Amino acid sequence: MASKVLDDMIAELDYYNIKYDMPDIPLDSAQNINLVRNKLKVNIERFKEEQYALRQADEWQEIYEYMNLLIVNNGREKELGDDYTIKVPKSEAAAYLEWIFWKTELSVFCVRQRMKIEGRRSIYIQFMMVTLWCVLMQRSRFELQKYGL
């Protein structure tokens, strides 16, 4: 069973073209196989986190709409597309505010990384992200005061 799980993990590494080094541990027991599997799992998790961070710059409109819902904070929903609606429950506004900070930081970081790679072609995206960040910072002060945070 452990051997099958390891084989599946190696297939996933290969599928995503993730480079990895097989640890020099004999695969003669379930315990050793699990040690190798756990070491390889770190590579997959790191890859998926990087991919998630890269997607944030393309999701700036969603981040912006969540910020608007935080400002209104009346439990309303916002439809962003076919079968895609967002909502910020009043009781979870502080958690959503923290989440929006995190997503925005990832997004700004990603845009900065892209700008290094692509040069000045993406100046409009950079401008939008800086604007989004400024709006978030200004409005978050209001939200923090509103909730006594």
Which residue among 33, 51, 69 closes a domain?
51
Q: Which of 127, 1, 2, 144 is nearest to 73 (CA)?
A: 144
Specify whether 86 is located in the same domain as 139: yes
Residue 59 contacts residue 107 (beta carbons within 8 Å): yes
Q: How far apart are the first and last CA of the chain?
A: 50
Which residue among 26, 51, 76 closes a domain?
51
| Helix, coil or strand: residue 26 | coil
pLDDT tops 70 at residue 141:
no
pLDDT tops 70 at residue 126:
no
Amino acid 11: pLDDT: 92
Specify whether 70 is located in the same domain as 117: yes
Count structural domains, the chain. 2
Specify whether 62 is located in the same domain as 115: yes
Specify whether 35 is located in the same domain as 60: no
Q: What percentage of residues in the chain have a pLDDT greater than 70?
A: 70
| Helix, coil or strand: residue 76 | coil
Specify whether 42 is located in the same domain as 65: no
Amino acid 5: pLDDT: 85
Specify whether 124 is located in the same domain as 69: yes
Specify whether 43 is located in the same domain as 73: no
pLDDT tops 60 at residue 104:
yes
Q: What is the pLDDT of residues 74-102, one digit of tens each?
A: 667 788 888 888 888 888 888 888 888 88
Amino acid 15: pLDDT: 92
d(CA 18, CA 95): 33
Q: What is the pLDDT of residues 5-55, one digit of tens each?
A: 888 988 999 999 988 888 888 888 888 888 888 888 988 988 888 888 778
Specify whether 10 is located in the same domain as 22: yes
Specify whether 47 is located in the same domain as 67: no
pLDDT tops 60 at residue 147:
no
106 lies in which domain range?
Answer: 55-146
Give the containing element (helix H, strand E) for 9. Answer: helix 2-15
Specify whether 21 is located in the same domain as 89: no
Specify whether 39 is located in the same domain as 60: no
Specify whether 119 is located in the same domain as 70: yes
Mean pLDDT confidence for 56-62: 77
Q: What is the pLDDT of residues 22-34, one digit of tens each?
A: 888 888 888 888 8
d(CA 133, CA 139): 10
